[in-house]
Amino acid sequence: MSNRDQFASKIGFILAAAGSAIGLGAIWKFPYMAGTNGGSVFILLFILCTLVIGLPILVAEFMIGRRGQSDAVTSFKKQAPGTRWYFTGWAGFIFSSIILSFYSVVGGWILSYIVRAVAFKLTGSSQDYYGELFNSITQNPWEVVIAQGAFLFLTVWIVQGGVKNGIEKASKWMMPLLFVFFIVLVVRSLTLDGAMEGIKFMFVPDWSYLTGKTLLMALGQAFFSLSVGVAAMMTYASYLSKEEKIGSSAMNVAWLNIGISLLAGLVIFPAVFALGYSPDQGPGLVFIILPAVFQQIPFGALFMIIFFILLLFATVTSAIAMLEIVVATAMGPKYDKRKQYSWLCGLGIFIIGIPSALSFGVLSDIQIFNRSIFDFADFLTNSIGMPIGALLVAIFAGYKISRADAASELDTKSWIFTTWHILVRFVAPIAIIIVFIQGIFFK
């Protein structure tokens, strides 16, 4: 065990785990989900679902990972010897690989926008201009594949440095910068004429949106944004020393995730309303609407550069968590071979991701169950992989690990532990099954 890397500090672990959670889910997906589901009511339900259902699963992943002190597969083998629970670890390995394969495509789009923004080539001010630009980028086979490769290169470069000198170091400077950039953009957004409409949209409830559909969307977003169900948090927690409190770390990660999601809303919605756009633009909100918004405000080009760098940081911190699961599992106990495994796994994921990168252009005619390759990979992981993974984690933590062992590992007040145990044994599994059914049959 002595030559296995560990996080050097609790804050390093929290920032890395929060970075895993705070990615495209918080900055790209949360605003458009809130925008298409009524704003304030969705946000309220999202916070509730994160704390009541997402947080207990997060604690469970932390507990399993820290108890195992190994990659996810080995962790399950150690804690449930002679059983097939270790397949849960392999599922995390497979689904993380698929997530990163299409996630890196979006990371590539962000790099394409940054290059154009820095060269001051994002000069249009209309929604149509940015819609055409987005289509031209995503349909250019050379650009999307090269940009995807560049994004993965950056991700591998960080992961191959190890936990302490790679992941922790990168998270310690990227995450604070993320907050600083966000505060700058929030201040700019809130000082626009008409920004108050966006504030109302976020914080004054329209109870007509309090429906089963909105609740399910909020629940799905809570799972997606916390990175639970694919062994990411389990893998990070395996590098955590036994002295650290799991519960408080998980709570910090959950609140940081909620905070960043709200800040993303405060950047986007006041600006969107102030300039007369509709908030229900869907996935194109960040790549099509926001650039048009930025170009209509003083120093907009500068703020656009800041926004896309911020988006890149958030995407990279999530990507390194996904790659770390794959590398840790492939590497096993060969800790001295981290560099070789990092580059090999990165190359493999790059190759797997090429069809997703090309699915908006040359491979756009290929459909899998009426979905593009990119959308199918997204559906497979978010609607099937993550819910199943989260359900297995809840069952393992709630039923396979004894109550006494769980209480000893979590080391918290008895009423807090009892509440967590009830939520992870009964409430979370039911909620996950509902999300799973909804994701499969009602989309």
Q: Note whether residue 194 is domain-resident.
A: yes
SS3 per residue for 254-308: HHHHHHHHHHHHHHHHHHHHHCCCCCCCHHHHCCCHHHHHHCCCCCHHHHHHHHH
State residue 3's pLDDT score: 66
Instruction: Provide, for the chain, the percentages of residues in helix, strand and coil under a 3-state DSSP scheme, each rounded to the nearest 5.
Output: 80, 0, 20
Q: Do the domain assignments include residue 184?
A: yes
Question: Does residue 3 belong to any structural domain of this protein?
Answer: no
pLDDT value at residue 155: 95
Specify the pLDDT at position 97: 97
CATH code of the domain containing 352: 1.10.4160
Count the domains in the chain. Answer: 1
| Domain-embedded: residue 187 | yes
| Within a domain: 394 | yes
pTM of the model: 0.91
Regions of the chain with pLDDT less than 50 = 1-2
Query: Which pLDDT score, from 0 to 100, does residue 1 have?
Result: 40
Q: What is the pLDDT of residues 258-293, one digit of tens each?
A: 998 999 899 888 988 888 877 776 666 788 877 887
Structural domain range at position 287: 10-441
pLDDT for res 443: 55
For 203-233, give the DSSP string. HS--GGG-SHHHHHHHHHHHHHHHTTTSSHH
Asked whether residue 141 is assigned to any structural domain, the reply reads: yes
| Residue 399 placed within a domain | yes
